[in-house]
Amino acid sequence: MVETRIQSVHSMDYKYQQIYKNLKREILLRHFLPDQKLPSKRELAKTLNVSVNSINAAYQQLLAEGYIYAMERKGFFVEKLDAFPLSARSPETISPDLEEKSQSRKGWLSFSHMSIDRTLFPFENWLKCEHQALKMRQNMLDDDSSRYPQGIRSVRQTIARLLSITRGVKCFPEQIILGSGTQILLQILDGLIEENKVFALEEPGYQRVYRLLETLRRPVETVRLDAKGISIEAIRRINPSVVYVTPSHQFPTGIVMPISRRIQLLNWASEQADRYIIEDDYDSEFKYQTDAIPCLQGLDTYKRVIYFGTFSKSLLPGLRISYMILPEQLLRIARARFSFLMQTCNVLTQITLQQFIDSGFYHKHIKSMRQIYETRRTRLIAAMRVQFGAAIKIYGINAGLHFLAEFDTKRSMDEILNRAAQEKLELYSLERCVLKEHYFTKKPTFIIGFANLANGSIDRAVQLLYRAIYQ
Ligand code: 76U
């Protein structure tokens, strides 16, 4: 039995390692039972046609790890090991992870709102910056990041400067905390706010934030939107402590919160000492025709806004660099409570990002992407209006990387999604943004991302969508 299994073991191993591994597996599979005597070294050496030394080395390793025990002059015996439950024995009982399950979308057209156009990213310039980062600041790579729990200071300085110019954010680098994603930062923030305080989210809104807060056992309510964004009356009815909003471009409806509503919201927060507003400014770099709309944080004189930003849309989602900016009183708590936390962003990526921004590559990239994305948006909407006529309603201002499209059709949302998949069209419905209640619209509505629709593929994508909905 042992002999036949030896062949299957990796050939890079020494002989004794192969024998050790096989015996270990046989013991764990209970082909050898507790207290059963193992063949003598000499016997096994003969059967396997290896030296006694190899067998001895294998037995010594099994002995050291506690799989077998030795009895003087009697030989080696299998330890009394509890059996693993059957379900734990075979890896086939674990379902494949999401990455394996997600279909390979080679050759598909995509309306995904989650991606950006990677093919237009200036990788050459990024590499130049990474090269410089390695040359000039290599010494930072041998720290373990515990020296800069909030992220490298010079990187935060660069980000503070950038945000002051482009977003009207008013902050010191000390207030910025970097993190490898919005969710991880939100977990930190959750730990700064008293346990029983209620968070309120926009409905429809960002599911990944909603589910994270629920998992953290944070009481969460959702608040309806009106034409100006989150409704203040509804906030008053719920009486939360923290309100999470996407005022520059509501996710997913695309509403921009006008100044009147911003002032109301800030005033609401100022009424009590424990009220805060989380401003998630996830895609504010992309405003077309109009200038970028200054953020809430810059308007806030009460120090109640916690600003969240990310490079996932403006650069690449795979970089995993996001940040939050805390008002002083929360920063004080964070430093007292979380000084033991280590920074989650990769050091090399942080320094490369700093170089990329400081050398002007960032501005250049945003400027060119803004034009490209705007053209895609305009052409896509024009093509949709031609194809769908009065049957389509589009929500969302001229901004960002997505809009909502609602269709007059008898076909159900799920049926449309299935048909789209058959047509090799990546498509997401509004359902993924329905947090607690479905009030916004009952008609099939889709989040239409256009970042990956180069001009040549727009007509084809619209045709496929038409087929999925009407044919
Ligand atoms: C992010 C909103 C509303 C932040 C977002 C996104 O972790 O910094 C969308 C989905 O990369 P991070 O998150 C940025 N706030 O929509 C990005 N959204 C994801 C990628 F597009 C997922 O699941 O519907």
Q: What is the DSSP string of 262-307?
A: HHHHHHHHHTSTT-EEEEE-TTTT-B-SSPPPPPHHHH-SSS-EEE
Phi, psi of 4 (to 5 degrees): -65, -30
Parallel/antiparallel/unpaired status of strands 392-395 and 402-407: antiparallel
Task: Give the helix, strand, coil percentages of the chain, each rounded to 5.
Answer: 45, 15, 40
Q: Which helix (H) or strand (E) holds 148?
A: none
Indicate the pairing of strand 68-71 with strand 75-78.
antiparallel
Biggest distance spanned by C-alpha atoms of the chain: 92
Rounded-to-integer distance, Cα 238 and Cα 307, Å: 22
pLDDT in tens, 368-413: 999 999 999 999 999 999 999 999 999 998 999 999 999 999 999 9
The amino acid present at 275, given as its one-letter code, is: R
Q: Which amino acid is at 171?
A: C
Low-confidence stretches of the chain (pLDDT < 70) are 1-12, 85-93
If you measure from the C-alpha of residue 343 to the centroid of ligand 1, how many angstroms do you get, rounded to a whole number?
Answer: 20
Query: How many C-beta atoms lie closer than 10 Å to residue 196's C-beta?
Result: 8
CA distance linking residue 113 with residue 374, whole number of Å: 15
The CA 407 to ligand 1 mean position distance, Å, reads 25
pLDDT tens digit string along 420-447?
A: 999 999 999 999 999 999 888 889 999 9
Please provide the size of the chain in residues: 471
Which of 117, 206, 319 to mutate for ligand 1's pocket (most ligand atoms within 8 Å of CB)? 206
Q: Answer whether 323 contacts ligand 1 (Cβ < 6 A).
A: no
What is the average pLDDT value for the chain, to the nearest integer?
93
- Which pLDDT score is estimated for 89? 56
Beta strand pairing call for 425-426 and 109-110:
parallel
pLDDT of residue 87: 58
pTM over 0.85: yes
The CA-based angle 318-324-327, given to 5 degrees, is: 175
Which of these, 313, 322, 283, lies nearest to 183 by C-alpha position?
322
Cβ–ligand 1 distance for 115 under 6 Å, the answer no
pLDDT at 291: 81
The residue whose CB lies within 8 Å of the most ligand 1 atoms, and thus the one to mutate among 114, 225, 255, 445, is: 114
Structure tokens at 108: 């598909």
What's the angle, vertex CA 151, arms to CA 148 and CA 157, rounded to 5? 110
With contact defined as beta carbons under 8 Å apart, do 273 and 297 qualify? no
Predicted pLDDT of residue 91: 60
Tens of pLDDT, residue by residue over 1-50, are 554 444 444 556 789 999 999 999 999 888 999 999 999 999 999 999 99
What pLDDT does residue 4 have?
A: 46
pLDDT at residue 429 in the model: 97
> What is the C-alpha separation between 66 and 446, in angstroms, rounded?
58
Q: Which residues, other chains included, contact 170 with Cβ-Cβ below 8 Å and sequence gap of 6+?
A: 164, 297, 298
> Which residue in this structure is represented by tokens 């916690």?
306
**For residue 320, what are its two tokens?**
């995993």
How many angstroms separate the alpha carbon of residue 238 from the centre of ligand 1? 26
Ligand 1 site, residue 244, Cβ cutoff 6 A? no
pLDDT at 88: 57
